[in-house]
Amino acid sequence: MIRFECDYAEGAHPLIMQALVETNMEQTPGYSTDEYCGKAREYIKKACGSEDISVEFMVGGTQANATVISACLRPHQGVLCPISAHINTHETGAIEACGHKVLTLASDDGKVKVEQLEAAWNEHVNDANREHVVQPGMVFISQPTEIGTLYSLKELTEISEFCRKSGLIFYIDGARLGYALGAPENDASLKDITKLTDVFYIGGTKVGALFGEAVVIPNKEIQKDFRYHMKQHGGLMAKGRLLGIQFKTLFEDSLYYDISKQAVAYALRIKEAFAKCNVQMLVDSPTNQQFPILHKSQMEKLAEKYSFTFWERIDENYSCVRFCISWAAKEEQIQALEKDILDICK
Amino acid sequence: MIRFECDYAEGAHPLIMQALVETNMEQTPGYSTDEYCGKAREYIKKACGSEDISVEFMVGGTQANATVISACLRPHQGVLCPISAHINTHETGAIEACGHKVLTLASDDGKVKVEQLEAAWNEHVNDANREHVVQPGMVFISQPTEIGTLYSLKELTEISEFCRKSGLIFYIDGARLGYALGAPENDASLKDITKLTDVFYIGGTKVGALFGEAVVIPNKEIQKDFRYHMKQHGGLMAKGRLLGIQFKTLFEDSLYYDISKQAVAYALRIKEAFAKCNVQMLVDSPTNQQFPILHKSQMEKLAEKYSFTFWERIDENYSCVRFCISWAAKEEQIQALEKDILDICK
Amino acid sequence: MIRFECDYAEGAHPLIMQALVETNMEQTPGYSTDEYCGKAREYIKKACGSEDISVEFMVGGTQANATVISACLRPHQGVLCPISAHINTHETGAIEACGHKVLTLASDDGKVKVEQLEAAWNEHVNDANREHVVQPGMVFISQPTEIGTLYSLKELTEISEFCRKSGLIFYIDGARLGYALGAPENDASLKDITKLTDVFYIGGTKVGALFGEAVVIPNKEIQKDFRYHMKQHGGLMAKGRLLGIQFKTLFEDSLYYDISKQAVAYALRIKEAFAKCNVQMLVDSPTNQQFPILHKSQMEKLAEKYSFTFWERIDENYSCVRFCISWAAKEEQIQALEKDILDICK
Amino acid sequence: MIRFECDYAEGAHPLIMQALVETNMEQTPGYSTDEYCGKAREYIKKACGSEDISVEFMVGGTQANATVISACLRPHQGVLCPISAHINTHETGAIEACGHKVLTLASDDGKVKVEQLEAAWNEHVNDANREHVVQPGMVFISQPTEIGTLYSLKELTEISEFCRKSGLIFYIDGARLGYALGAPENDASLKDITKLTDVFYIGGTKVGALFGEAVVIPNKEIQKDFRYHMKQHGGLMAKGRLLGIQFKTLFEDSLYYDISKQAVAYALRIKEAFAKCNVQMLVDSPTNQQFPILHKSQMEKLAEKYSFTFWERIDENYSCVRFCISWAAKEEQIQALEKDILDICK
């Protein structure tokens, strides 16, 4: 069985394992105050083009989202996001458990439009009884989205301008940020994102690390006391250097970008294979996740050799499934899948 | 600098690193549903002497505590514990952030007595206006305690009987549980603890693992839906096998016990060295943490070669400090420290 | 200006004011332990046809909803309700502030169908990764709904059976319950509701009381410790007798029903007046709230003498507004409104 | 039985009942936006000597405390207070339910000293691992305290200066504020309190109102969006005018002060009667609550005619009890009690 069901089926990039093993018996102070974390911060600040940002390391995405959102919002505020947002669907109510309503906006392509945000905001501020309603306090998006689509630099800029004008926090969940940065059609760099947002995170778990997400905080207000929030959420790792060593390795040279770019290139080959067979896709994804709509007979045959994720039922005969091509995918796995797609779906 | 400031200064036991590296590029399903976690559960159940328990893996102690307590209590309930409990002092209010009051009881030796628990409980149930007061819903203790002391089997049995009689959950934080099990004077086995408690955790982060705590749940009610709570607290690790591999390695043979026993043996040699110098100890600790009360001149000299933790000021000239001897301590480090204690403190 | 904008524009029914004045300088114990609360409980138990229920008094609806829901759910659970539910739209996130997600279902008429509940429940329990998703723990509906519609006894019975089969709590928000009980087309009595639900409340604030809601709890599990939850939510009134005196007055004889029936009769006359003018209604409401869709010129003219609530924009020229006819409405006010509708809308 | 067990045994001052009855059938807009609330705000602003404050009305003290504290603090912050504070002892964990730790300081007389606050604050900011510990964000005191003692203007000024210097919110719970203002030895006026605090509330429930507390907010930051927090906590009363009418009546002339002064004068006569009998008091209270330490035979005899509150056990034979003399006490009740004290305790 070759697994394309997710981008966390393997461990870490071998260079990361090597770094962890080499440093294993060193003694360092705890809680991300060690030199490895220091180096990782330095490299990430450079990649983000700013010395004025904070960089903190957390173990996973749900924890990062809950910590950031809880640190940013006051109790009467909620977070605007597309209905497909991970915080709305797959975090077991972690945001509500921190006291905040998730304010969902309709979305077909996993993205939210600035016009929707403006409409929601205007509806709130123009409501005579607005104190009876949760106040939007943040805009949450993912780059890439849950279904692999990308915001353009123009779209991100518009959302950022809207947020600044309206006093909302702009937060990007970058669980798969590498696969956005590695996509040929992407035009929003890490430096752009740093300029446009108040806070975002660079995903490691799904992009080469054993685990870990680097929370980047351009906004000074959010920087303040952020580590208290991390600790309260169980997110201040005792052996913080484990995170530092990993992000140091990913950002020392171009490893984070290289492995992401390779995974996207592989995914686009799979996309191309489905296109050759005239298989319809749920959405035109330029990143590492592809969502073909398959006949049940095609699904069955592909499932003999590959694991992939059931996404949603389309009709009696057809369903959408997800192929998720990670940093760990190998040329021979991709070749095999390409060939089988052409054999089975043509 | 030789670090005795904590038991998380190094990485993991070499056997664990080896297992992580060997399995690194295997593909497994996520969220602790893989075979390594299966094996780890099997070994821990055997060690605990019960097939009816649940075993779940989390990354760290604060997260484990918040998840367990939140899963167990109803909103109007609080948790009884000694005033020195980690949840009261060093988790940035993680328990209160879940809505629960920490109900502290006085303690000199880090332990709480069953008489104190009974008195607190009786005061509550006999209060005519008890609905104005937080209802005790759980007893929380650590084994060993924050200052290295141990509950005897008799004491644990009394607390357990009180809890069952009164309808309270009995939870043991075992962040350093290995160092209790490895202490010569300990008479409460893992099987005893499994029989006596509703839930406890076996600490890995401080006892040989890279990170990770194994939450053991004998109580059927708490087993139900526990993984929802883990996910909500950001504690359901995507690459759950990382935890499985570590606990499989620790419990496959006797590794967890062996490294703990060694660390305690080292710690008792340090204790003996201080005793030879007539240095007073804060408390008579039979485990891996030792708390000598040192003159400031002694502290200064020892600090030239060793890092240790300032614990509390005793008077103008004397302070209590902590030496924490971990699974990673080496014979030559202990010999050096023994010698320097005798030189400096005599 | 004659106010039909809500059912809380006036104070209380004169009999209630009289009872409050007559008892004013009596000394009673606090927190609803007095004899007036005792009497009120006795009358409500009789009206509900059960001695095994608990009856507790709270000041307002948002407080009652937050207290009940918080007392019933565990942290990983949410509450299923129609998207128009008050807890979803107009309580400033009070339910999320208690940690619980509001799980909304589409609704045109303010009601939710048992098929929708079953579908949502089945989707959850059949999800292989359901622990990543909030677990439905309760069904919340209002009787009558926010837009005045009613559940039939058959519909309530179906929802109740579904809830019992599936282990969900069934809770009815009865902020305007009197206006359901007083509607000619209603076939679900207070005794029926008591049998079918786990908990509900009988609204006083909008039905003749100065303030106050009577929470009725048929479910023994929810009865336990409920007053702790009330106190924690600031809902255990010091001078609890104020609530007891009011509900005693409402339920001693048939006052609660009489004033509700009168208000609904008035509302149906208004509905009839609009019907005579062929004014379309948003929904066919059999209770005290009526939602005509008016041309802006009609709105303007009616607004010269009457206050009513803007409900929603239909198109460029038409909007839906709400006329809310309360227990306090007077025959001459209704006559005037009838006449003006016929003059203005014909 | 003459009740001196609390200051909420009766209803409201007759002038308030009269005002409620006279306005009963008037129609007003909801949620404290009516003219009565407007007038009440005007009078209270005048009494506080400032036009720049916000005044909002809530039903009860626990609700007011939870709303204010939740509105002021960020998630990692807690509230410093004497261990006897109402929020610590008798609100069923309402503050923790909002996510905040109550940080208690030792106190014999119900008061906290500025030196204690400074020590707690310094300990926190000087802790190298302070992010592992709850950050003090507010100082909470009561005036008068739970045991009737008073802060002097000098003490309040010192606490205020400490808070402003350290960036902490200063909040006074004034559930019985009238009985402080009405005490001969008091030197801190409403205007002083307005100048010195960030937020406080003027208690109505225990001082002549049927119910209600007026939250006064000098701090602009806390004023912002405060009504959202009220609504979320179920504290935005639908018929808000009920609160407006009561506080208008209390502050239109000097009613609030007059009835408080009378109650304190009565209490001091009771204090004097105990003094004549050489009965020891728990504390030297200059306000409406008196805490004699009585022999059990004295308690039994007094209990035949009077209800009072058991406070705490002193030894086998003696206990402290509370006599609470409210605005509603009558000359003849006081005379009777004076006489019986002299008869029984001499």
DSSP letters along A101-142, please?
A: -EEEE--SSS---HHHHHHHHHHHHT-TTGGGSPEEEEEEEE
What pLDDT band is residue D346 in, cutting at 50, 70 and 90? confident
| Subunit contact B10:A21, Cβ cutoff 8 A | no
Q: What pLDDT score does B297 carry? A: 96
Stated as kind and residue range, the H or E segment containing B118 is helix B114-125
pLDDT score recorded for residue C12:
98
For A276: left if phi > 0, alpha if psi spans -120 to 50, otherwise beta; the answer is alpha
CB contact under 8 A, C228 and B76: yes
- Partner residue facing D76 (CB), from A98, A99, A228: A228
Rounded-to-integer distance, Cα C74 and Cα C303, Å: 47
Count the helix, strand and coil residues of chain A and give each as a percent rounded to the nearest 5. 45, 20, 40
State residue D264's pLDDT score: 98
Distance, CA of A21 to CA of A31 (rounded, Å): 19
Q: How far apart are CA B12 and CA A21, in angstroms?
A: 9
Q: Do A75 and D70 touch (CB under 8 A)?
A: yes
CA angle centred on D334, ends D332 and D335, rounded to 5°: 65
Q: Which two tokens stand for residue D45?
A: 């602003």
Q: Which residues of chain C fall below pLDDT 50?
A: none
At C346 the pLDDT is 87
Q: Are D139 and D163 in contact (CB under 8 A)?
A: yes
Q: Does C49 touch chain D (CB under 8 A)?
A: no
Distance from CA of D86 to the nearest CA of A (A): 23
Q: What is the pLDDT of residues B158-170, one digit of tens each?
A: 999 999 999 999 9
Question: How far is C88 from C68, CA to CA, in rounded Å?
Answer: 15
Task: Report the distance separating Cα A38 and Cα A251, nearest Å.
Answer: 12
3-state secondary structure of C140: strand
Q: Which residues, numbered 99 to 128 in chain C, qualify as contacts with chain D under a Cβ-Cβ cut-off of 8 Å?
A: none
Put simply, the answer to whether A75 touches D227 (Cβ < 8 Å) is: no
Which pLDDT tens digit goes with each residue over D251-267? Answer: 999 999 999 999 999 99
- Residue pair C250/C174 in contact by the 8 Å Cβ criterion: no
ipTM, 2 dp: 0.96
pLDDT of B117 above 90: yes
Tell me the C-alpha distance between A261 and A263, whole Å: 5
pLDDT at B175: 98
Reported as a single tens digit per residue, the pLDDT across B249-273 is 999 999 999 999 999 999 999 999 9
Domains with residue ranges and CATH for chain B: 2-7+256-345 (3.90.1150.10), 14-253 (3.40.640.10)
Instruction: Kindly report, residue by residue over B291-324, the tens digit of the pLDDT.
Output: 999 999 999 999 999 999 999 999 999 999 999 9
Interface touch D30/C10, C-beta < 8 Å: no
Return the amino acid letter for D141. Answer: I
Q: Give pLDDT tens digits for D179-230.
A: 999 999 999 999 999 999 999 999 999 999 999 999 999 999 999 999 999 9
- Closest by CA to D172, choosing from D141, D133, D148, D212, is D141
Per-residue pLDDT at B1:
87
Interface residue C92 vs chain D (CB under 8 A): yes
User: Three-state DSSP class for C162?
Assistant: helix
**Among B92, B100, B122, B131, the residue to mutate for chain D (most D Cβ within 10 A):** B92
Q: C239 to chain D: which residues are within 8 Å by CB?
A: 8, 11, 205, 210-211
Per-residue pLDDT of chain A (346 residues), as tens digits, is 899 999 999 999 999 999 999 999 999 999 999 999 999 999 999 999 999 999 999 999 999 999 999 999 999 999 999 999 999 999 999 999 999 999 999 999 999 999 999 999 999 999 999 999 999 999 999 999 999 999 999 999 999 999 999 999 999 999 999 999 999 999 999 999 999 999 999 999 999 999 999 999 999 999 999 999 999 999 999 999 999 999 999 999 999 999 999 999 999 999 999 999 999 999 999 999 999 999 999 999 999 999 999 999 999 999 999 999 999 999 999 999 999 999 999 8
What are the pLDDT digits (tens) for D138-193? 999 999 999 999 999 999 999 999 999 999 999 999 999 999 999 999 999 999 99
Contact: D76, A135; criterion CB under 8 Å: no
Instruction: Say yes or no to pLDDT of D268 above 90.
Output: yes
Confidence of residue B346 (pLDDT cuts 50, 70, 90): confident
Q: Which CA distances in Å does A306 have to A7, A275, A288, C321?
A: 14, 19, 16, 57
- Return the half-sphere exposure (C-beta side, CA atoms, 13 A cut-off) of residue C175: 25
β-strand partners of C55: C216
Question: pLDDT exceeding 90 applies to what percent of chain B?
Answer: 99
Chain A residue numbers touching B235 (CB-CB < 8 A): 63, 234
Band (B203; pLDDT cuts 50, 70, 90): very high
Q: Give the chain B residue whose CA is nearest to the CA of C227.
A: B131
User: How many beta-carbon pairs below 8 A join chains A and B?
Assistant: 153
Considering only CB atoms, which chain A residues are within 8 Å of D132? Answer: 231, 236
The pLDDT tens digits of the residues spanning D47-106 come to 999 999 999 999 999 999 999 999 999 999 999 999 999 999 999 999 999 999 999 999
